Chain A
Amino acid sequence: MSTPILEARDISIRFGGVEALRRVSLHVMPGEVLALAGDNGAGKSTLIKIISGVYHADAGQLLFNGTPMQLRDPQDARAQGIETIYQDLALADNLDVGSNIFLGREPVRRQFGIQVIDRERMAQVAREVLERLDIVIPARKLRGPVKMLSGGQRQAIAIGRAIYWNAHVLIMDEPTAALGVPEQRKVMELIAALKAQGVAVILISHNLHDIFAIADRIVVLRRGEVAGERLVAGTNGDEIVRLMVGDTYADARGPAH
């Protein structure tokens, strides 16, 4: 098979006394949806924060298209086409839709020889992105702070931001957790569309139904370690749950625990 678009090898990180991740490895292929499952506190968010340059691993390596990469900050990751949608929505609530899509990468034009933000263009792109996602937001709210919008609309903006910047790898940390049912379905449709375009998606979800509906492969984390990896086609919900919570029978029987 070809090389993974993104690979993490033996990633470890500690927060003070907590060993949040211990020698965790995973990879994802272009056009593949990889689900990351695990109980609360298993280390899922921590792992994707390392992949997206927010945290720095104490040990281990990240490879992009087979070549090792150093991520100094989230900007580095995004320059590679790794876009992340965080569990705690990473929108600036006080800014409008366009400002959020462009945050940190604002288009500029010159005025008095000084670079000023091109707000017209940001508003224009905001409209286009929302149109592409089939999201309807009244024009008068488009220019207001995004805190005026619903959870689903805000999630759509976060996804729209990632898509607009041509993500090769899209990481989503519980993208549907705060959404109503129709909005959840919309996000699932978006993921399927991205997959069809060859985008690699890493999806964190507590919802096994979603995982089995959309993912190709599942990596299960438990207490900071990889508890198992399964193809969706060859497993079932019971097995994944057992991996997540830890099969006590297997633990007792296992050699070194």
Chain B
Amino acid sequence: MDNSRLDRLALISKIWPWLFLCALLVFFEVWARISDHRSFIFNAYNLQSIGLAASAPLLLAIGQTFVIITAGIDLSVGFVMGLAAVCIAQFTIPGGNAPWVVLLSIPATIVVCLVPGFVNGVLIARLGVPAFIGTLGMYGVARGVGFLAAGSGMTVAVNNAGLAWLGHGWTPVVLTLILLLVMHFILSKTRFGQYTYAIGGNPQSAVRAGINVRRHLVVIYLIAAAFAAVGGIVYTSRFAAGAANAGEPMLLDSIAAVVIGGASLFGGTGNVIGTLIGALIIAVIEFGLVFIDVNAFWQFIVVGIVIIMSVLIDQYKERLGGAQ
């Protein structure tokens, strides 16, 4: 293959998530116009619904992006999110409706959730436990603790003005976007981000370059847990109730978003903006299928196919790289 053709293929494999997202939007727009004579995209309610549907898995996926770039995986984030959802409710309830209570209950929730993150990090970075196994263990622990903390019922209702503000309207979406931009900056511009890629590319070379790989990995799993905590806090704010299984369906969506966004599960590649596109693709598929009245179970099938497609494209990219 000549160079220009290779370049073009490399470019397409890089931007296909964007193209795919556009194609989805066009598809749903055309469908909505033809069958219902209304717009899909130019509709504030639809946009907000997609934004909200995307924000919870996206919060998990931002942390997961860092983990996956280091060639790790964090299976515990779903139930850490559930733990956070219960904790923020339990911690806020004693303060009644006073909005300032969240200034205490939010940090407290995050601190609680950093514990499983820290344990994950130590298991993986210090004790050499494979990420898949270590975080699977933490998946169970966080799940159990979450249900125990929720008490007899599965959910803990909470009415607080501060939380209500946080969960109202576009606020969760805006908060997610701000955090996303901050983490994008860190990953793409700072040494911390550079070392995240270096560790995923070749941990040995990172060690020899003097990077404190163990400490870095612990911080990475702390970040994943912190984002899971924020996801749980946003959940409880939106629904005025915390549930221990709040994040259960989000785990796979979060990993899917990262993979669709261009990260390789072998580590070393991926970025936060790609993850954003991945999360939007999933949210648009899920919301769009409901919007055009397709049986909701179809969304699992379609998202599943998209995941497989993106992994195939990733492997094809590898082969492109190897061929040169």
Q: How far is the CA of A95 from the CA of B185 in the complex (A)?
A: 18
- The reply to whether the CB of B190 lies closer than 8 angstroms to some CB of chain A is yes
Contacts A90-B205, A92-B205 given; indicate if A103 touches B198 (C-beta within 8 A). yes
CA distance A103 to B195 in the complex (A): 8
A205 contacts B by Cβ under 8 Å: no
| CB pair A92 B198 closer than 8 Å | yes
Chain B CB within 8 A of A124 CB? no
Q: Quick check: is B209 within 8 A (CB to CB) of the other chain?
A: yes
Cα distance, A104 to B200, chains bound together (Å):
14
Query: Bound complex: CA of A8 vs CA of B57, how far in Å?
Result: 55
How far apart sit A63 and B268, CA to CA, in the bound complex (Å)? 37
Residues of A within 8 A of B202 (CB): 90-94
* A117 in contact with B209 given A93-B201, A95-B197, A147-B321 (CB within 8 Å): no
- Provide the bound-state CA to CA distance between A117 and B194, in Å: 8
How distant is B269 from chain A, measured CB to nearest CB, in Å?
6
- Within the complex, which residue of A73, A95, A105, A115 is in contact with B201, where a contact is CB–CB below 8 Å? A95
Shortest Cβ distance from residue A12 to the other chain B in the assembled complex, whole angstroms: 22
Given contacts A99-B194, A103-B205, contact A75 B268 (CB under 8 A): no
Taking the closest CB of chain B, its distance from the CB of A81, in whole angstroms, is: 14
Determine if B313 is an interface residue (Cβ-Cβ < 8 Å): no
The CA-CA distance from A145 to B322 in the complex, in Å, is 11
Given contacts A92-B197, A92-B198, A106-B194, A116 and B189 within 8 Å (CB-CB): yes
Q: Are B201 and A90 in contact (CB under 8 A)?
A: no
Within 8 Å CB of B200, what residues of A?
94
Cβ of B206 under 8 Å from chain A: yes
What chain B residues lie within 8 Å of A145 (beta carbons)? 201, 321
Distance from B112 Cβ to chain A, minimum over Cβ atoms (Å): 28
Would you call A88 and B204 a contact (CB within 8 A)? yes
Per-residue interface assignment for chain A, residues 117 to 152, with 1 indicating a CB less than 8 Å from any chain B CB and 0 otherwise: 100000000000000000000001000010110000
Q: Mark B247-260, 1 if CB is under 8 A from A, else 0.
A: 00000000000000
> Digit string of B180-218 for contact with A (CB within 8 Å is 1, else 0)?
000001000111001001101110111111110000000
A222 within 8 A of B: no
Residues of B within 8 A of A103 (CB): 194, 198, 205-206, 209, 211
Task: Find out whether the CB atom of A108 lies under 8 angstroms from the CB atom of B205.
Answer: no
Q: Which chain A residues in 176-193 approach chain B with CB under 8 Å?
A: none
- Is the CB of B152 closer than 8 A to any CB of chain A? no
Q: Is B324 an interface residue (CB 8 A)?
A: yes
What separation, in Å, do the CA atoms of A145 and B7 have in the docked complex? 14
Instruction: Count residues of A near B (Cβ-Cβ below 8 Å).
Output: 30
Instruction: Evaluate whether A74 and B324 lie within 8 angstroms (CB atoms) in the complex, with A88-B204, A95-B197 already known.
Output: no
The interface size bin for chain B is: 20 to 34
Q: Which residue of A lies closest to B268 (CB)?
A: A94
The answer to whether A104 and B209 have CB atoms under 8 Å apart is yes
Q: Which of B279-324 contact A (CB under 8 A)?
A: 321-322, 324
Q: How far is the CB of A16 from chain B (nearest CB, A)?
A: 15
* A248 is an interface residue with CB less than 8 A from chain B: no
User: Do A92 and B201 touch (CB < 8 A)?
Assistant: yes
Is there an interface contact between A148 and B321, defined as CB atoms closer than 8 Å? Answer: yes
Q: Which residue of A lies closest to B186 (CB)?
A: A114
A99-B209 Cα distance, complex, nearest whole Å:
11
Chain A residues with CB under 8 Å of B206's CB are 92, 103-104
B206, B210, B322: which has the most chain A beta carbons within 10 Å?
B210
> Is the CB–CB distance between B189 and A54 below 8 Å?
no
Contacts of A95 in B (CB 8 A): 194, 197-198, 201
* B211 touching A104, Cβ below 8 Å: yes
- Near B by CB (< 8 A), chain A positions 52-78 give 52, 54, 73-75, 78
In the bound complex, residues from chain A placing their C-beta under 8 Å from that of B197 are: 92, 94-95
Whether the pair A104, B190 counts as a contact (CB closer than 8 A) is no
Chain A residues, Cβ within 8 Å of B210 = 73-75, 78, 104-105
Nearest CB in chain A to that of B318: its residue: A147
In the bound complex, how far is the Cα of B211 from the Cα of A90, in angstroms?
Answer: 13
Judged by a CB distance under 8 angstroms, whether A84 is at the interface is: yes
Given A75-B210, A147-B321, A148-B321, A115 and B205 contact (CB-CB distance below 8 Å):
no
Nearest-CB residue, chain B, relative to A158: B205
Complex CA gap A111/B186 in Å reads: 11
B191 touches A94 (CB 8 A): no
Known: A90-B209, A104-B211, A111-B189. 18 other contacts (CB 8 A): A84-B208, A88-B204, A90-B202, A90-B208, A92-B198, A92-B202, A94-B200, A95-B201, A99-B194, A99-B198, A105-B209, A106-B191, A114-B190, A115-B190, A116-B190, A117-B191, A140-B7, A148-B321
Seen from chain B, the residues whose Cβ lies within 8 Å of a Cβ on chain A are 7, 185, 189-191, 194, 197-198, 200-202, 204-211, 268-269, 321-322, 324
The 9 closest A-B pairs by CB, nearest first: A75-B210, A104-B209, A94-B201, A94-B268, A92-B201, A116-B189, A103-B209, A90-B205, A104-B210
Can you show 22 pairs from A to B with CB atoms below 8 A apart? A52-B208, A74-B210, A78-B210, A84-B208, A90-B204, A90-B208, A92-B198, A94-B201, A94-B202, A94-B268, A95-B198, A99-B198, A103-B206, A104-B210, A105-B210, A106-B194, A114-B190, A115-B191, A117-B189, A145-B201, A145-B321, A148-B324
- Please report A residues at the B interface, Cβ cutoff 8 Å: 52, 54, 73-75, 78, 84, 86, 88, 90-95, 99, 103-106, 108, 111, 114-117, 140, 145, 147-148
